[in-house]
Amino acid sequence: MRTLKFLILSILLLTAASCRPRPSQSDGNYNFHDRLGRQIELQGKPRRIISFAPNITEMIYALRAEDRLVGVTSWCSYPPEAKSKTVVGDYASPNWERILALRPDLVLLVGTRDSPILSRLEAHRIPAAAFCSETPQDIMAEISLLGVLLDREPEADSLTRSLAAQLDSLRPARDLAPAPRPAVFAEISDRPLLTGNDRSFLGQLIALAGGKNIAADMPETYAAFNPELVIARKPDIILIFHPGTDAREVARRPGWAHIPAVKNGRIYYGFDLELMMRPGPRFVQAARMLQQIFYEKK
């Protein structure tokens, strides 16, 4: 058993290292490819960073590199110290005057190639790197990249090893209950009804916790889900990951009263969304919380 655990831990660390977009160095310049395949060229390691994503802000603080962080979004609320940084708006409404005044040498964000903010940063010739954290391997690879860029490689190695060990400590579903894995529906919006597939961070958490995502086969990572399909797929557990909805509201939805989760009172809401919805250094904590819910003794 100890040998098996060591093998799992080694595979996780090697996988994170192998998908790490490690910068190459030449004459003091650093080159690497971000998660969109864009080549990023930096003149020296970045000293003035703006983070446009709360999970990236958490990674920077976890690496004790917050001295490099000059700007954050209005959504960057963890750790609490992040609130003391200059706020540059958010992804939907960036404050360009403030961004330019901060003179960043690197902006970190989550986005796609057609993101307006990305094209405008390129127009201002501000280096910008796009992250895309969904899986545990994504998260650990991006922590490792930040470790290189921010002169925090020992901290990054220590953190990724700790995360891999924490993942290994999650008890497999087969050890928690003799019954099949519970079927789970995770709702991130009710109008429209939105959820994530098995490739989404949400789907990854459900799998890590020992659940079976009823929306695993959706073509898109996050998309609208037909309420009739929720009824047909009979989830044992319903998770509400947005404010304004509770068990009574869910039970009133047409046809939902006969869903096992509703009949058995297994609708959960009121989560710390900063913990549950951010693919950052606390993801194992989120998975462990879900595992306790999935396998609680009734």
* The predicted structure's pLDDT at residue 38: 86
Instruction: Give the DSSP H or E segment for 38.
Output: none
Side-by-side strand order, sheet with 237-240 = 212-213, 183-187, 237-240, 267-268
Q: Does residue 10 carry a pLDDT above 70?
A: no
**Which range (14-18, 37-41, 106-110, 262-266) has the least confidence?**
14-18
* The predicted structure's pLDDT at residue 91: 83
* The predicted structure's pLDDT at residue 6: 35
> How far from the centroid of its chain's Cα atoms is residue 61's Cα?
15
The CATH class for the domain spanning 173-294 reads alpha beta
168-227: pLDDT as tens digits: 888 776 676 666 899 999 999 999 999 999 999 999 999 999 999 999 999 999 999 999
* The predicted structure's pLDDT at residue 9: 35
| CATH 1.20.58.110 matches 2-167 | no
| CATH 3.40.50.1980 segments of the chain | 2-167, 173-294
Instruction: Please indicate whether residue 92 or residue 24 has the higher confidence score (pLDDT).
Output: 92
State the residue for tokens 């809401």.
269
Q: Which of 83, 64, 67 lies closest to 75 in space, CA to CA?
A: 83
* The predicted structure's pLDDT at residue 92: 85
Contact indicator for 65, 42 with CB cutoff of 8 Å: no
pTM of the model: 0.85
Phi, psi of 25 (to 5 degrees): -115, 135
Q: How far is it, in rounded angstroms, from Cα 280 to Cα 60?
A: 10
pLDDT band at 112 (very low <50, low <70, confident <90, very high): confident
CB atoms within 10 A of CB 67: 10
* The predicted structure's pLDDT at residue 113: 77
54-84: pLDDT as tens digits: 999 999 999 999 999 999 999 999 999 999 9
42-53: pLDDT as tens digits: 888 899 999 999
Q: Does residue 249 carry a pLDDT above 80?
A: yes
Q: What's the burial of 178, exposed, middle or buried (CB within 10 Å: 0-12/13-18/19+)?
A: exposed
* The predicted structure's pLDDT at residue 170: 84
* The predicted structure's pLDDT at residue 24: 55
Name the percent of the chain lying above pLDDT 90: 73
* The predicted structure's pLDDT at residue 111: 77
